[in-house]
Structure 1
Amino acid sequence: MRAAASIAVGVATVLLLTGCFGPGKDVLIQQASDDFDSLVSTAASVDVTVLHTLEVEDPTSELCSTESNDEHTVFIAAGTMAIGTTGVEERAVLAEFGPTFADEERWTAITDGLDARQVAYIDVDGITASAKIEDGLLVIAVFTPCRG
């Protein structure tokens, strides 16, 4: 009996450390959707003289790789910045997304490989969110982690 309990504790520990006890796929999709809605709402409040349009795509599920059946859900919105928008104005738009990621216990900033015109964060459950301005286009993307 002790051996079985010991094995069960060991297996539970391994599963916990590998993230198998994290939120289910549906919970992650709903959370990512809520996060995306918050980012879109923020972008929609940007002055129309700076951000002219904002188009929201329907969420899509994609395979994470050809070797697995794991999927992630992708939420994307794109907006057109005004011609002549300055770098200062672009950075101000990106700064508007800050309150969405204010919970430091949940969100961690991703800084490797990013320039001043992009912000990206990952949460404790693996949801990734990014906003980037490039060539006059604002792209907001939120991804759920890969799950089977």
Structure 2
Amino acid sequence: MPMTLPPALDLSLDLLRCPTCRTRHLRPDHGALRCPVGHAFDIARHGYAGRLVVIRPTGRHLAELRGRVPAMVTVDPAKEQRLHRALNPFFEAVVTEQVEYLAVLSRPDVLDLVAMTPSARHVSRADLDEDGLLPDRVTVSVLATAYRPR
């Protein structure tokens, strides 16, 4: 019987790597995880359990949108240093991966995207109603770091 995972965990499997061949895009298979090459393994036995995974935006994240909507909040350049200071006493970074891709979006998708960002409180619907203002593609650019307890 196939494993059913919560959507958030299902998405995070794309960030993990097979411990044997290092490929991504792991999928559940009869109580284990399997990589595209076919290696199967137990998630806890191979060290993925008990990790804190932190995903945060890079300066390129949603750049096309921030370039057209001046009221959009930018990514704080000191975010990495603050994160390190907060986590370092308790966690050790094991691996960091950058994930970046171009997302093609409809106008309603872009409006929903703005509503999900910290900018939602700073941008009014009127700010977004100008015809041609919103891009139809945006860069998604994040860093994903797995930490283990010290």
Common topology (TM > 0.5): no
Q: Indicate the TM-score class for this superposition, using the shorter chain for normalisation.
A: under 0.3
The two structures have a TM-score, normalised by structure 1, of 0.28
